[in-house]
A and B are shown apart, each in its own frame.
Chain A
Amino acid sequence: MDIVVCIKQVPDPEHFSKIVLDAKTKLVRREGIPVVVNQVDKHALEAALQIREKFSGRVTVISMGPPQAREAIEEAFAMGADGGVLLSDRAFAGADSLTTAYTLAQAIKKFSPFDLILLGNETADSGTRQVAPQLAEFLDVPHVTNVRTIGFNSGDTLIVERSMENGHMKIEVRLPAVLAVNRTINEPRIPSVIDIMQVATKEIKVCGLADLGLSSEDVGLVGSPTQMANLFESRRERRREILDGAAVTAARQAVERLRELNAL
């Protein structure tokens, strides 16, 4: 079975509060913020590796990002991915979800015949949850989001469970298909030292706009239907009354204030 896993390198969510807005340039400053593989993407890769271990096949990871996103693919190699494709070109920068899905779809069509595509259900940075259904649309295959279990039926059919707000759905999916998984599906493996040493033996295929045969009009910021109009800091003003006396006193004062404010 040929499985493609889409992964993304994101700023470490632990450091989000350090990302600031430059008052002059109106741009986001994120220098020095460490990057990591989007956590749930590792669960998607783990699911792919487990399927490969059961049925044999090949796992290819694809990532779109700046040159340093190759670190994310190397991490996927350490976990056990067989091949890696990095879509990196200045022209790809600033893509919204539609254009990201379009670019990924074109690369997958060109380089990676697939039976199954797995993604994480959302990224920690933009978190739109939109890429998986849109990727499926561009590849003309079915999709399921928020997948918590994948079971194999006979032949080319899967039975997957999709988590819902208040329960779950059972869905029969014909392959090829796109599945976006959530974190309950598995526990991603931790690579061993030997796994990490093998990373150097695997090669990353780096592709730009020309390699994919795409027009710069259709990708990145230029090709994205949505645009950023304003960026601003916003915080709702609160009273910010601090009580730091003894626990008993502070609790009494707090409740007293809540009563005055009619908040109870």
Chain B
Amino acid sequence: MTGKNETWVYAEQKAGHASKATLQLLGKAVELGKETGSPTVCVLVGSGAQGVPRELAAYGASKVYVVDDPRLELYQSEAYASVVAGLVKEHCPEIFLFAATDVGEDLAPRVAAKVGTGLTAHCIDLRIEKRDGVPLLHQTVPAWGGGMRIDIVCPKHRPQMATVKPGVFDLPVPKSDSNAEVVDVPAQLNEKHFRARTIEVKEEAQRETPLTEADAVVAVGWGAYSLGGIQCPQELAEAVCGTLAGTRPMVDSGWIPPDRMVGQSGKVVSSRLFISLGASGAMHFTSGFERAKFVVAVDQNPKAPIFQVADIGIVGDLREVLPCLTEEIKKQKSSKG
């Protein structure tokens, strides 16, 4: 498939605003586009999101394809895949990026299969490198629990498609004076596109800051089991004005809700401070906080691999260390005012 040299981003919106994950992706798309000399284009599907293209323009989109249809108010897997794949077939972009969200992770694979191209899941880096003189998107993914990296390429098929978890790329600085060409695209749909029909979306109120946006995160691992409950870790989380999270075993045991799981199959955290309590440091966990600025780890085993990926490691019994740590942080914060 040869087509326009364009970098596309699938734009997700909620309540009339582009999602943060979309804008992060857009920032990266613009960066990639500078290298290949290609414009950045967004695809926006839904109902009644008039203000969104302007927002996308501010973050670097030069064109937005808008598929606005009341039947697409809720995410409909087959209908969305059909309209998005239709646009891809018509315009043949070079690169197409999706956020690895509830919608993106479900939609991108079906679009890729419709178009017959490759899709790389959960990339942690994207860059252009030339191979035999041809610019190729190198899509870095963590492998084998995160200790290794693989660069994936899609040499013969277009578009080169990838998903990226929220929080992997930084939010760019918007430019208020930017404009994007808005192209309205009619949705050509029939009954068959609604064999799976979303009839209701129920959202629960967010209790705390989403993990991907938290400024500080306190994560408990299996070693925290000795504490008998999450009260002490929760206190530390509050002391650092952070969010409580955990490893897969702690989610499986019911201590931590699934949306608070850090790691390869959970969330990627890019907080300023990350405190690990009683996690030994399995790679599928540690890959989730590589982007954190400062990492503190507490574990009683001095040989635990967690200390290899921490800035400050405290070797000791959590039941003794944790109350002291919380106390010291509270003191520090109050002296700062």
Contact = CB atoms under 8 A, between A and B. Distances in A.
Nearest to A167: B203
A145 B198 CA distance: 12
Contacts of B264: 127
A17 B110 contact: no
A167 B203 CA distance: 4
A216 interface: no
B113 A98 contact: yes
A172 interface: yes
A122 B118 CA distance: 18
Interface in B268-321: 272-273, 282-284, 290, 293-296, 302, 305, 307-317, 320-321
A231 B328 contact: no
B83 to A, nearest CB: 15
B152 A228 contact: yes
A112 interface: no
A15 to B, nearest CB: 9
A201 interface: no
Contacts of A255: 325, 328-329, 331-332
Could you tell me the dominant secondary structure of chain B's interface residues? mixed
A169 B148 CA distance: 35
A234 B149 CA distance: 6
Contacts of B311: 238-241, 261
A230 B150 contact: yes
A133 interface: yes
A96 to B, nearest CB: 6
A127 B195 contact: no
Interface string A232-264: 111110111111100110111011011101011
B328 A177 contact: no
Could you tell me the dominant secondary structure of chain A's interface residues? mixed
Contacts of B272: 263
Interface residues of B, number: 92
Interface string B96-109: 00000110011111
Interface in A169-207: 169-174, 177, 183-184
A229 interface: yes
Contact of B196 (A137, A173, A241, A243): A173
A214 interface: no
A22 to B, nearest CB: 11
A130 interface: yes
Interface centre among B121, B131, B195, B273 (most CB of A within 10 A): B195
B328 A251 contact: yes
B199 A258 contact: no
Contact of A172 (B197, B282, B307): B197
A233 B112 CA distance: 29
Nearest to B203: A167
A13 B310 CA distance: 22
B324 to A, nearest CB: 4
Contacts of A96: 118
A94 interface: no
Given A127-B265, A130-B109, A258-B294, A170 B196 contact: no
B290 A236 contact: yes
B114 interface: yes
B265 to A, nearest CB: 6
Given A231-B143, A247-B321, 11 more contacts: A128-B121, A129-B105, A133-B109, A165-B102, A170-B198, A173-B196, A227-B153, A233-B148, A240-B307, A250-B324, A263-B272
16 contacts: A16-B284, A17-B147, A17-B305, A19-B144, A101-B113, A133-B81, A137-B113, A169-B202, A170-B202, A172-B197, A177-B196, A228-B152, A234-B147, A250-B316, A254-B312, A254-B314
Interface of B: 74-75, 77-78, 81, 101-102, 105-110, 112-114, 116-122, 131, 136, 138, 143-145, 147-157, 195-204, 206, 210, 240, 252, 258-259, 264-265, 272-273, 282-284, 290, 293-296, 302, 305, 307-317, 320-321, 324-325, 327-329, 331-333, 336
Interface of A: 13, 16-17, 19, 21, 28, 96-98, 101, 122, 124-134, 136-138, 141-146, 162-174, 177, 183-184, 224-236, 238-244, 247-248, 250-252, 254-255, 257-259, 261, 263-264
